[in-house]
């Protein structure tokens, strides 16, 4: 009886936004009950959908911003971020496509971080970063926040972010590549998997004193991180990395 005394609006979430909804609300319209005139952002996030995953909101056939105040009988359609093309002419919100792709990852995504760096993507990560610092870095450096924590994506300061669905690192990598259409941007040995610095080829004579005798004897081609100094050569670990990279490239060709 209490719900009947409240105002009602009709909500419908599209495509991957349904990942956040319970089964009864997936891929269908449903009634949202409310008092007063909450913002459409509040209505969206009360259904566990982070505002940062939303790019277009249409109320009664017209695009609106997040601060639109819900009215009795409104029909609300909510669409996910269209990262692959610019919809600024139809979208009055501040979410604009970001094509200089850089990431900052939360503390739960250490393994994904290594895979992203291994495939050439600029990815900041520290296992002691607090949410506020992640948000500050994302804003200052124009980075996309990758996270498994819905709470950080609901922070109103967040401008670009994505909730990682999978719990498996390799599947997480594929998810990010497909989500941001990075299939043609995969590169090998451009980023240090330890610190995210850039890697360059180096002369053996310059790093010989850092090498073990066996490495000195059997290998001649070396690469070094310009930031932390980590040395790479074509040993067994290098070969495994290269094999994974090639399999990934082949998958998206």
Alpha-carbon distance of 159 to 226, in angstroms, equals: 31
Residues belonging to the chain:
253
Domain boundary among 80, 111, 127: 80
Give me 116's structure tokens.
């992203």
Give me 192's structure tokens.
């240090």
Radius of gyration (Cα) for the chain, nearest Å? Answer: 23
Whichever domain contains 10, its CATH number is 3.10.20.30
Q: How many CB atoms lie within 10 A of CB 8?
A: 14
What are the pLDDT digits (tens) for 177-231?
Answer: 999 889 888 888 889 999 999 999 898 888 888 888 888 888 888 889 999 999 9
Residue 132 lies in a domain: yes
Alpha-carbon distance of 69 to 36, in angstroms, equals: 9
With 90 as the cut, is the pLDDT of residue 86 above it? no
Alpha-carbon distance of 39 to 172, in angstroms, equals: 33
Instruction: Provide the pLDDT for residue 35.
Output: 93
Which carries the bigger pLDDT value, residue 240 or residue 34?
34
**Predicted TM-score of the model (pTM):** 0.78
As a three-state string, the secondary structure of 199-249 is: EEEECHHHHHHHCCHHHHHHCCCEEEECCCCCEEECCHHHHHHHHHHHHHH
Q: Which range, of 24-33, 118-127, 155-164, 241-250, averages the lowest pLDDT? A: 241-250
Instruction: Provide the pLDDT for residue 93.
Output: 47
What are the pLDDT digits (tens) for 5-38?
Answer: 689 999 999 999 999 999 999 999 999 999 999 9
Residue 88 lies in a domain: no
Give the structural domain span for 71: 3-80
Residue 216 lies in a domain: yes
Do residues 191 and 120 make contact, with C-beta atoms less than 8 angstroms apart? yes
Residue 89 lies in a domain: no
Instruction: Provide the pLDDT for residue 237.
Output: 73
Alpha-carbon distance of 84 to 66, in angstroms, equals: 22
Residue 59 lies in a domain: yes
pLDDT band at 84 (very low <50, low <70, confident <90, very high): very low
Give the torsion through C-alpha atoms of 38, 41, 46, 50, to 10 deg.
-170
E-assigned strand segments in 22-136: 30-34, 54-59, 62-64, 75-80, 103-105, 123-124
Domain shared by 173 and 217, yes or no:
no
pLDDT band at 97 (very low <50, low <70, confident <90, very high): very low
Buried b (16+ CB within 10 A) or exposed e, 51-76: bbbbbbbbbeeebbebebebeeebeb
Instruction: Provide the pLDDT for residue 155.
Output: 93
Q: How many domains does the chain have?
A: 3
């Amino acid at each position: 009886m209490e719900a009947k005394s409240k105002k009602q609006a009709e909500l419908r979430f599209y495509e991957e936004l349904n990942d956040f909804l319970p089964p009864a609300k997936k891929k269908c319209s449903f009634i949202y009950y409310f008092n007063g005139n909450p913002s459409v952002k509040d209505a969206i996030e009360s259904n566990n959908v982070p505002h940062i995953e939303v790019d277009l909101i249409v109320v009664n056939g017209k695009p609106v911003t997040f601060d639109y105040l819900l009215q009795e009988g409104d029909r609300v359609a909510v669409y996910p971020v269209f990262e692959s093309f610019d919809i600024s002419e139809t979208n009055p919100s501040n979410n604009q496509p970001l094509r200089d792709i850089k990431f900052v990852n939360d503390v739960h995504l250490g393994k994904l971080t290594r895979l992203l760096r291994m495939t050439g993507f600029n990815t900041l990560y520290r296992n002691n970063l607090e949410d506020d610092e992640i948000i500050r870095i994302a804003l200052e450096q124009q980075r996309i926040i990758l996270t498994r924590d819905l709470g950080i994506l609901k922070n109103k300061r967040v401008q670009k972010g994505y909730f990682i669905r999978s719990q498996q690192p390799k599947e997480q990598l594929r998810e990010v590549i497909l989500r941001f259409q990075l299939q043609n941007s995969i590169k090998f040995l451009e980023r240090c998997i330890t610190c995210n610095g850039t890697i360059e080829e180096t002369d053996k004579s310059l790093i010989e004193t850092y090498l073990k005798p066996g490495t000195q004897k059997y290998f001649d081609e070396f690469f070094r991180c310009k930031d932390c100094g980590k040395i790479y050569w074509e040993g067994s670990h290098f070969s495994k990395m290269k094999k994974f990279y090639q399999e990934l490239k082949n998958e998206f060709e």
